[in-house]
Structure 1
Amino acid sequence: MKKNISYIVLTAIIIGIIVVTQPWKLGRTLHNEGTDTTAVQLENCLPAEGNESIRIVPVKTCIYMENSGSMDGYVNLNSEFKDALGKIIVKSNNCSSSTDLFFVNDAIYDVQQTALKGDINNFVSQLNASNMKVGATGSSNINKIFKMVLDKTVNDTVSILFSDFVYSIKGTDVSSQISNAKNATMGAFMDAIKRNPDFATIILQCSSQFQGKYYDRNDHPIPFVGTRPYYIFIMGPYDKLKYLDEKLALNNSNTGIPGLTNKYLLSSKTWTLDENTVQALTTSYTNSLLIKPDRNGFDIDFFKFDHSNSNWDFAYALGLSNLFVDGSYLTDKNNYEVEPGDVSVIKAEYTKDPAALSEVAQFSSPLVLQFSMERTVKTPNMKVRLINKIPAWVSAADVADDQGAVPSPTQTFAIGSLIAGVYEAYQSQTSGKPIFEFEVKINKYK
């Protein structure tokens, strides 16, 4: 009898090991099983800092330069545009398994088949408005360019597209045509996401000196010398983009992208934060008399308010280095939503406060969310969400019509609608879910 029991115990242990180690689906589709790859992986716990190191990953980088006449002004002088293009080419060539250059307009043209063939590291030093006249450069169809480039962004490929991204829209029915163009952009990105649910996009807005002709929405040329924005779309598998984001130093306008002004990252991922990525602060950003965290350091066991204050302020530190979101978005308090409604985010900042840093030494660069709660609140438990919406800078960069006039140095015709098309493609996959959320439970308070 004892022998039989031993066999039963041994069998149970083996089954337990299999259950722990076998990647059961648990209601999710594993992309490497050849099953339905249209499912989007949602609501994963964000990896804690240090648990998702950026390793060397094989990536093929394809760099596309839209070369219609509107781009001549960026290369007629030694501009920030040429500096940024050159740095991305050299850095990409150093960290990618291969780097290829293309011009793109009505079709895609390999630079090695043009007069600029040779060492790609010397490409920018030879680049001028004359020798980049390859293909139909008289005008550009942005959505056709998107479709061609996205169709080639497969497997381990990342595509980097440089353009001013001005829609060519003629006639008087501007708003209707912009709407149609936006829908076409959305469709192109929806197709890319359908092919690969892990498809992600980085949008960079950059500023550069310009000397040439600005072409308005009707392709009417206007001579212009001054500063103009342009954009870099970096598109490909999520892990490849995270890798290049670090290697190309895309957050730093000095070492990475000269003239970088804004950044926007899009993916179909949403996250749940837990005690490995969120921790209550007990000494800083608070006017409470006592905050005693629960064992997990995440929930609060006891909260003693200072009743002489009309509002009670407290804070949480977040370790978000593994989050695919730009820091400027995280520090905009308007991007957060809190339940109940009488709790609000009053500050979002990367802290340098010594007391706060000593409490969360495990976070390399902690983001602090400071909350203010009305004294009348009845249920202090709360849910916090980072809402997925278009960053505020996009609206500021948008101009509704450029007919006959050059927009301001920070604005681009219909760029808001173009980026909205990309955003809505991703929203169709996430169904409006927040980028991340976490819930705080307060056991006792007085």
Structure 2
Amino acid sequence: MDGYMCEGSELKDAVYDYISSLNSYASSTNLFYINSQVVPFHEEIQTFIRDLNPTSFRTVSGNRTNSDLADMLQKVIAGTDKNTVSVFVSDCILDVPQGDARDYFVNRQIDLKNAFLKKVVHDKNFGVEILQLESRFSGKYYGTDGVTPLNNVKRPYYMWVVGDKNILAYLNRHISLSKIKHGYLNMASFTTPSEVSYDCFNRYMKDGKKINQNKKQMELKSDRSGDFVFVIKADLYPTLVDDKTLTNTENFKVSNNFVKVDHVEKIEDELYSHLITVSISDRAKASGVVIDLTPEQLPSWVKKSNDDTGSNIKTKLSKTSGIQYIIGGVSDAYNEYKSRTKIKFTITKN
């Protein structure tokens, strides 16, 4: 990580911005360096950020030359209880000590799957958010083909936020991940299904009239195409799904061929996070409808960001050695949970 500690490093800005914001909502904040050991840092966050440099890294105990990333993540999740949120920042490069890189990567993927699966089995509310960010890098890159000097290039790094999904949802509502200093490139998240709060509204009513909760009925007017249109306001924060994924209607599977999710957008509301516009064909029959939020189990950006060799870094500056296997291990642990939430309503015909 020494190369990320250069002058003008976006990593230092992003970490300082996010951790100091979290500190406002936490009863206490504990800071650590981590390699082969977890080393406490007993100063304030301002001092921690100021001292993030190659010199301070070299004074930290533990093995800095060949740390085991899977072992680090196991330590992080082991130290995260139901009242704790852990933030782990790393380049997430899987070092290959010997042998075939892909065989080694697969073994680490299995190790991570086992570690996260054990956690989820004992804590069904355990959630994982992984942000891919980018920062200036000047330093030595240690690859399978030796040491390569890099000067003032942009390299990806990763911020993991893990803990109880309800706490993560609360924090995401108040500290938007999209507003982290310098922003982030991509996000992957994993958690178990959640029941979310939602209400249906008639889009054509001037007062935005809500569905009659007692009769479960609502007057609908058709649009120019003859379809009926209404909107659903839903609080999707507990799903931990990022806004880019939520606004892609292909991630919403509908159980009824006469019903379609037309549009999803983020809204500013005390009770809800998103507005879902739904159309119902005038040919629809009376039936129950389920809208199932089912994002990709492993986001496509993960594979695009992966490097299987750990060599020729100058031709792969935007890639990370083994990241597909690291995040893939987490994905495997949550493999049985395809759905993040379900929204249900009933079509009645008079």
Question: TM-score scaled by structure 1?
Answer: 0.66
Describe the superposition over 1:238-291 as per-residue Cα deviations: whole angstroms up to 9, x where unpaired.
3443444355x24243xx343423334432242265xxx13143429xxxxxxx
Q: Which residue in the other structure is 1:439 paired with?
A: 344
| 1:368–1:99 CA distance, 2 compared to 1 (3 A) | same
Q: Which runs of 5+ in 2 are unaligned?
A: none
Cα offset for 1:210? 1.0
Distance, in Å, in 1 between the alignment partners of 2:340 and 2:100 is 36
- Within the candidate set 248, 251, 266, 1:350 is matched to 266
Matched to 2:334, the amino acid is Y
After TM superposition, what 4+ stretches of structure 1 lie above 6 angstroms from structure 2?
Answer: none
Q: Per-residue displacement from partner, 1:166-220 (whole Å, max 9, x unpaired)? A: 112356644433222111111111222234332222222211111112233x273
| Kept in 2: contact 1:331–1:348 (CA 8 A) | yes
Residues 326-405 of structure 1: pairs in structure 2 closer than 5 A: 326-341=242-257, 343-350=259-266, 365-371=273-279, 373=281, 381-388=288-295, 389-405=297-313
Q: Residues 88-167 of structure 1: matches in 2 within 5 Å?
A: 88-112=18-42, 118-133=43-58, 134=60, 135-167=62-94
Does the CA contact (< 8 Å) of 1:336 and 1:385 recur in 2? yes
Report which stretch shifted further, 95-104 or 236-245. Answer: 236-245
Q: Determine the C-alpha separation between the residues in 1 that align with 2:184 and 2:221.
A: 46
Contact kept in structure 2, 1:294 and 1:301, CA below 8 Å = yes
Q: Determine if the alignment matches structure 1 residue 77 to structure 2 residue 7.
A: yes
Which deviates the most, 295-304 or 118-127?
295-304
Amino acid corresponding to residue 334 of structure 1 in structure 2: E
How far apart in 1 are the matches of 2:101 and 2:318? 21
Greater mean alpha carbon deviation, residues 165-174 or residues 183-192: 165-174
Q: CA RMSD in A?
A: 3.3
Q: After superposing the two structures, state which structure 1 stretch, 206-215 or 333-342, moved more.
A: 333-342
Matches within 5 A, 1:247-286: 249-253=175-179, 256-271=180-195, 277-283=198-204
Q: Does the Cα contact within 8 Å between 1:280 and 1:298 map onto a contact in 2?
A: no
For 1:314, the aligned partner's letter is V
Partner of 1:12: none
Residues in 2 aligned to 1:187 and 1:211: alpha-carbon distance in whole angstroms? 35
Amino acid at match of 1:295: N
Aligned residue number for residue 334 of structure 2: 426
Equivalences, count = 342
Partner residue in 2 for 1:178 = 105
| Alpha-carbon distance in structure 2 between the residues aligned to 1:76 and 1:304 | 60
What is the Cα deviation at residue 139 of structure 1?
1.8
TM-score of the superposed pair, with normalisation by structure 2? 0.83
How far apart in 2 are the matches of 1:301 and 1:341? 20
Correspondent of 2:234 among 311, 315, 319: 319
Structure 2 CA distance for aligned equivalents of residues 167 and 194 of structure 1:
26
**SS class of match (1:438):** strand
Cα distance in 2 for partners of 1:119, 1:231 equals 23
Q: What amino acid is aligned across from residue 147 of structure 2 in structure 1?
A: P
Counterpart of 1:209 in 2: which secondary structure? Answer: strand
Larger gyration radius, structure 1 or structure 2: 1
Deviations, residues 324-356 of structure 1 (Å, cap 9, x unaligned): 42222211112111113464433222369xxxx
Q: Distance in 1 between matches of 2:344 and 2:194?
A: 15
